[in-house]
Amino acid sequence: MLEGLMIGITTALSFQNILMVIGGCLIGTFIGMLPGLGPMSIIAIMIPVAIGIGDPSAALILLAGVYYGAIFGGSTSSILINAPGVASTVATSFDGYPLARQGKAGKALTVAAISSFTGGSIGAVLLLIFAPALAQVALLFHSAEYFALMVVGLSAIAAFAGSGNVAKALMMTILGLIMATVGEGALFNLPRFTMGIMDLQSGFSFITLAMAMFALPEAIYLVMDPNRSKTENGGEIKELRITREEAKAIAPVVGRQSIQGFLIGVLPGAGATIASFLGYAVERNIASKEDQEQFGKGSVKGLAAPEAANNAACTGSFVPLLTLGIPGSGTTAILLGALIALNVSPGPRLMIDQPSIFWAVIMSMFIGNLILLILNLPLIPYIAKILAVPRTFLIPFILFFTLMGAYIGQNNATELLLLVGLGVAATILRFADYPLAPLLIGFILGAMLEDNFGRAMQLYGGIDFILARPMTMGLLVLAAILVILPSYRARRTRAKREGVADGD
């Protein structure tokens, strides 16, 4: 291992590879800030560039830098204009955007940058130490376990339901699951619920749905309520640094979610999206009553948790990719294609046959995360000034990125019609106090839930797989606890209040 580390350090610190890290981080951060252009799109575009470099180590370092750079930068649009263009930064907007509305955009971006850096760095350390062992753990997960893991992800709805809104959150989750069934399924190559519309053959686009649920309603709200575009301090960016108390509050959150996010990222098919949602849900459920009430209203804990988790998961996703040759997400599937095009065979022997590639990628992650922090922190005061833009310019700005993101995602004009229709429906649902986050969670996890459930049913000939696999049962019990615990705590609090009232 020490020999491998020395090889990795020597390779990663070469002049060419340092330029690759810086270039990848810059490109990834910029693309991540633009709603609609996620890491998958830009990595696919850059594969010919990477192949043209010739050196597999430099090519993979460049593509890896673009990947975690995009995840790092994806929080910016979520925080500033409530437009998460990457699935893994949806949870970031829940508390990041309220902080920006309170005139604390600089603080929110600082918390996000520090949490992302810490999550990515801890993930890189864990990758360095445990990659071979964790690869064997990942092999223990089959379709049944992945189905149960998706159910655990769906149990996060309890964290996004306000007081008394659990039923509404459940309804929105079911609606999201229903929307996920539109189009062709992985097990059945037949269109479902498309109403004869050819453009729905591939289902709803995540980008279109995310923009419709968050960005478009925000633009409509700005039109209806002119005062909404004004931050509480008149648009002046004052708070950029976090206080000592805030640092103490988020330190354990970032530590926990870096480890949890990394472990979720190790599992093929889980990825940064589930890690961010679960990170947010877990931290809200274990928080004190006072802290719980701040979640969704501008909690630094609620912002730090998903940012640490998704960056750590991004690093963790390289474990199955490099050690098993199994892509854990769409983005790592494209990276796998790039590796094969470079005549590199990822798998158990990569560490032995081509140690310079394996260890150089890992060591470049430390350099990349440091570069991302150095690049982003000085720019925060300038990026945050987006919120000081007058309403007459801010509304067209949000609408432009919303429409562009939806169109670029599918290159289809029908997406714009879907965007407007879903955006109007989302605005009405917001007026009726229905939480929109559970719908997006249901939609994102719905396809994976259905596919893995179908495979497990085929393999075991029925629902018996739940009892046949102890790990599956354990995950389902965990999901039940995550759903029941908030309701139990709310009922216990209500009973205490009634007891105090009776005593008076």
Band of the pLDDT at 158, cuts 50, 70, 90? low
Q: Give the whole-angstrom CA distance, residue 277 versus residue 481.
A: 16
- How confident is the model over 160-189, as a mean pLDDT? 76
Please tell me the predicted confidence (pLDDT) of residue 330: 64
Structure tokens of 476? 């389902």
Please tell me the predicted confidence (pLDDT) of residue 251: 92
Instruction: Please write the tens of the pLDDT for every residue from 450-489.
Output: 888 888 888 877 777 787 788 888 888 888 887 777 667 6
More confident of the two residues 9 and 20? 20
Which of 8-12, 176-180, 402-406 shows the lowest mean pLDDT across its residues?
A: 402-406
- How confident is the model over 188-192, as a mean pLDDT? 73
Please tell me the predicted confidence (pLDDT) of residue 137: 67
Please tell me the predicted confidence (pLDDT) of residue 233: 46
- Residue 365 burial (10 A CB sphere; 0-12, 13-18, 19+): buried
Please tell me the predicted confidence (pLDDT) of residue 32: 75
Q: Give the whole-angstrom CA distance, residue 474 versus residue 477.
A: 5
Q: Give the whole-angstrom CA distance, residue 273 versus residue 263.
A: 13
Q: Is the pLDDT of residue 178 over 80?
A: yes
State the amino acid at position 436 in one-letter form.
Answer: L
CA distances from 356 to 7, 100, 475 (A): 6, 43, 38
Q: Is the pLDDT of residue 237 over 60?
A: no
- How confident is the model over 319-343, as a mean pLDDT? 74
Please tell me the predicted confidence (pLDDT) of residue 80: 82
Residue 324: partners with Cβ closer than 8 Å, 6 or more residues away: 135, 138, 139, 268, 346, 347, 348
By C-alpha distance, which of 328, 318, 330, 320 is closest to 359? Answer: 318
Q: Is the pLDDT of residue 348 over 70?
A: no
Is 454 strand, coil or helix?
helix
- How confident is the model over 331-337, as a mean pLDDT? 75
Q: Is the pLDDT of residue 156 over 80?
A: no
Please tell me the predicted confidence (pLDDT) of residue 500: 60
- How confident is the model over 357-382, as a mean pLDDT? 82
Please tell me the predicted confidence (pLDDT) of residue 234: 44
Which of 62-66, 122-126, 145-149, 386-390 shows the lowest mean pLDDT across its residues?
A: 386-390
Q: Is the pLDDT of residue 255 over 90?
A: yes
Structure tokens of 162? 């306000």
Q: Give the whole-angstrom CA distance, residue 416 versus residue 207.
A: 11
- How confident is the model over 45-74, as a mean pLDDT? 82
Which of 81-90, 95-104, 174-183, 251-260 shows the lowest mean pLDDT across its residues?
A: 81-90
Band of the pLDDT at 327, cuts 50, 70, 90? low
Residue 149: partners with Cβ closer than 8 Å, 6 or more residues away: 141, 267, 270, 274, 475
Please tell me the predicted confidence (pLDDT) of residue 382: 74
Q: Is the pLDDT of residue 70 over 70?
A: yes
Please tell me the predicted confidence (pLDDT) of residue 259: 92
Q: Give the whole-angstrom CA distance, residue 326 versus residue 223.
A: 47
- How confident is the model over 214-237, as a mean pLDDT? 64
Q: Is the pLDDT of residue 236 over 70?
A: no
Band of the pLDDT at 316, cuts 50, 70, 90? confident
Q: Give the whole-angstrom CA distance, residue 504 versus residue 497.
A: 11
